[in-house]
Amino acid sequence: MAQGTTFPLGIDIGGSGIKGAPVDLAAGAFADDRVRIPTPEHSTPEAVIEVVAEIADRFRKVSGDSPMGVTIPGVVTHGVVRSAANIDQGWLDFDARAALSARLGRPVTVLNDADAAGVAELRYGAARDVQGTVLVATLGTGIGTVLLVDGTLVPNTELGHLEIDGVDAETRAAAAAREREELSWQDWAQRLQRYFSHVENLFWPDLIVVGGGVSKKAEKFLPLLQLRTPIVPAKLRNDGGIVGAARQATDEARR
């Protein structure tokens, strides 16, 4: 990297790990090696913010005072966390943006983790230059969803929690359900078929993008689906949250 160049920082808070890296926005890729620190066992806002501060400090030389984006595994409105999945319930109604900005001494953008992945796919990945409606679904512990309409993010869509056949959809169709129940790829694909068929009937998307760690094995299950909507794996895979957070923070700083 050129001497004196600084890069925006993206940090992705998850239930098991907190990951961060500076991002080269021209390339849509990490500008330095990613750092991962285990999420504190008691993942209170105070404990997690200290880990975020530690990661930010490690990249001080390459990020400087550039924009910083942080993802939360929950609904976020105007910087305030409204739901808490896989993190301490102390995050509920917690003003994360204000607390992080105060602790780090710089403006911080806070957004839902799936939304960050969607922004990354929009700017650099499978949803780039796609007009109309794009659904991004991240399959992991649950199902995170993102709606992009003509290149604009519709934030905080929680379509993984749709009730389908009397149950919360993600309890049956998330990647964790496949592992927990030791389902074959074919059996899991049947559950995904039911889920994605339902969602495409609600929104009639022009494209569906599937992310999450399991997208690395997309060839094992995506060809088994029969949808009218084209469905493709995410290009940024698990890097999307960090890249999207840095991108969103930079875009907001420019407004």
Give the total residue count for the chain: 255
Crossing angle for the helix pair 45-58 and 96-104, nearest 10 degrees?
Answer: 40
How many structural domains does the chain have?
2
Tokens of 75: 């609904």
State the residue range of the domain holding 55.
9-116+239-254
The pLDDT tens digits of the residues spanning 163-173 come to 999 999 999 99
- Counting DSSP H helices and E strands in the chain, the numbers are 8, 16
Residue 4, pLDDT score: 63
Q: Are 136 and 234 in contact (CB under 8 A)?
A: yes
**Strand 29-30 and strand 9-13: pairing?**
unpaired
Question: Residue 84: inside a domain, yes or no?
Answer: yes
- 13 and 108 assigned to the same domain: yes
Q: What's the distance, CA 69 to chain centroid? A: 12
Per the DSSP assignment, residues forming a β-bridge with 208 are 135, 231
Tokens of 255: 């407004």
Residue in this structure with the two tokens 């003509």, named with its chain if needed: 150
- 17 and 91 assigned to the same domain: yes
- 249 and 217 assigned to the same domain: no
Q: Are 76 and 112 in contact (CB under 8 A)?
A: yes
Q: Are 183 and 220 in contact (CB under 8 A)?
A: no
DSSP state of 32: S
The pLDDT tens digits of the residues spanning 93-122 come to 999 999 999 999 999 999 999 999 999 999
DSSP state of 89: G
Q: Are 57 and 16 in contact (CB under 8 A)?
A: no
Residue 131, pLDDT score: 94
Weakly modelled stretches of the chain, pLDDT under 50: 1-2
pTM of the model: 0.92
CATH number at residue 95: 3.30.420.40
- 165 and 246 assigned to the same domain: no
Separation CA 160–CA 75 (nearest Å): 12
- 167 and 180 assigned to the same domain: yes
Residue 84, pLDDT score: 87
Residue 123, pLDDT score: 96
Question: Residue 121: inside a domain, yes or no?
Answer: no
